[in-house]
Amino acid sequence: MAVSLIAKPYTLTPAYNEVKFIHDSTNKNLQGFKYIYDIYESGTTNKIAEYRVLPVYSTGYGEVDLSKLLQSYVSYDLNLTNTTVYNATNSHYKYDVKVGEEYLTTTTYTAALTQYLVAPYVGRVQINVANTFAVGDQINITQIGVGVTNPSMEGLFTVVVANPAFIVVNVLWSTIVNPNKDGAITYADGRRTVTRDLHLDLNQYVFNGAIRWVDMPAYNWQDFMLNNVTDRLLTNQPEGTTRLPYFNATLSQDVWLNAVANSSPGGADFMYFFNDSAEVFRKSVNAVDHVSGISVGPNNHGTLIPVVGTLPLIKPTTEWYYVFYFRGGQVSRPYYIGIDRRVRDIEYNILFLDRMGSWSSFAFTGRSYEKGNITRTQYNKDVQGYIATGPRWTYNLQDRGFLNTHITTDTTIDLNTNWMTEQMAEYFVELLSSPETYIKVADYSNACDAPISTEYVSCNIVTSSYEVYQQRNKNLIKQSIQVKLANNNIVNG
């Protein structure tokens, strides 16, 4: 028996795309055959799932897609106070796939049938084959191969004599038409032969990412392993070029980018920062997990070590800076961030989880509009009144018939961006569709009366339709969005 690999996903693959394993077996044509896929937390005996898979009709291959399973083992890592580096433990998952097989326990006989001559079963059929059956076993016999069949030897039978070299069944020898007809014997209770771990696919990773349908066929995990200057961080944030940032951010914006770090002991990994004054700074990437989150935004890049020049990274005249991963040299693409100083007294920032698992943000410095909505439950009760002199029944004007209960208020805010690049407009779609979003307000006037905190507050995106603007048909690009705070305010009473 042998199970061989036909296809599997890359060692590192996004959990929200197909994670398909395909295998083949030399036993795939046996009765009752199924592939057994055992899925483990990598390097442990913690089995997280087991699948029994029928062979595909046309090929006989075993195929299983683990994406739905593995999605439940990845989420995200968010530390809103972090200005250095953190282990993105929840943003990825390491697993093992062990493939086995099962099939009906089958004994195939090819020797000629003979007549049993010992009382009390004289004249019964003797099947000459090495076996492990016992007297009283219920068995199924299926005739195989070419030649005239024996109708009486097809179906359910009882073993009446058991010997390691033969068995006798309750069939009269006189009914046998062709004693040379071969057959296959299985247990009537469907007893199976199970063999596990015939093929191992170990040390596989998924990360909290989803790649577009049109892009997934070109996906290559090596593009994210940080081995050369063309490799990528785990983000879709626009990269930009020298003096032409594709992504602009205000001084209050936060950005955490995920990287396949695996930092070497001794702090051999760094994130480097270059500004437009040719100054160079760095921070150690000392996280030891497979994926690390690194703070790089204008507001949260944290304390840097000067390599060339003097702190701070962002000076009053700085127009842009870029970051890249360093491990003995540059091992990632540079990610440019332009400094957007077009702000009013108050701006809103929305932090969002992008489709590759990193955290980026957009600033909304245009007009903003706040709207509220009140939800209440009403019911009408009987006005009891009272007996006045006379006597007569009457009531007070303060008596209440309709009562209001479970009153809550929620807040919806309409926001507008400033002018943005075409690449930012495309990336903006990831904000609109993100499942995890948080909003804060930056108050430059120190007189903020907005309902949003200067710390991040959970919110949901209300906007459900969008247009991706391109500069060939719209020179100046702005975007609008409507958000709703994720929690309602409760009213007393």
Q: State the Cα–Cα distance between residues 269 and 258, nearest whole angstrom.
A: 14
Residue 294: which CATH number?
2.60.40
pLDDT one digit per residue (tens) for the chain, 493 residues:
689 999 999 999 999 999 999 999 999 998 899 999 999 999 999 999 999 999 999 999 999 999 999 999 999 999 999 999 999 999 999 999 999 999 999 999 999 999 999 999 999 999 999 999 999 999 999 999 888 899 999 999 999 999 999 999 999 999 999 999 999 999 999 999 999 999 999 999 999 999 999 999 999 999 999 999 999 999 999 998 766 778 999 999 999 999 997 655 556 899 999 999 999 999 999 878 899 999 999 999 999 999 999 999 999 999 999 999 999 899 999 999 999 988 766 889 999 999 999 999 999 998 888 888 888 888 898 888 889 988 899 989 888 888 888 888 888 999 999 888 889 999 999 999 999 999 998 765 554 455 567 889 999 999 998 877 776 666 678 889 999 988 887 888 6
**φ, ψ dihedrals at 68, nearest 5°:** -65, -40
Same domain? For 163 and 248 the reply is no
User: 84 in a domain, yes or no?
Assistant: no
User: 414 in a domain, yes or no?
Assistant: yes
Cis before 265? omega within 30: no
**Residue 351 carries which side chain, given as an amino acid letter?**
L
Q: Which residues of 434-459 are buried (b: 16+ CB within 10 A; e: fewer)?
A: beebbbbbbbeeeeeeeebeeebbeb
Number of domains in the chain: 4
- Under 8 Å between Cβ of 38 and 197: yes
Contacts of residue 254, defined as CB under 8 A and 6 or more positions apart, other chains included, come to 80, 295, 297, 299, 300, 349, 351, 359, 361
Q: State the Cα–Cα distance between residues 235 and 211, nearest whole angstrom.
A: 11
> Which helix (H) or strand (E) element contains residue 362?
strand 359-364
- Under 8 Å between Cβ of 442 and 454: yes
**What is the domain range of residue 149?**
106-190
Same domain? For 27 and 58 the reply is yes
User: 88 in a domain, yes or no?
Assistant: no
Residue 185: which CATH number?
2.40.30
User: 46 in a domain, yes or no?
Assistant: yes
- Under 8 Å between Cβ of 373 and 451: no
Same domain? For 181 and 226 the reply is no
Cα of first residue to Cα of last residue in the chain, in angstroms, is 74
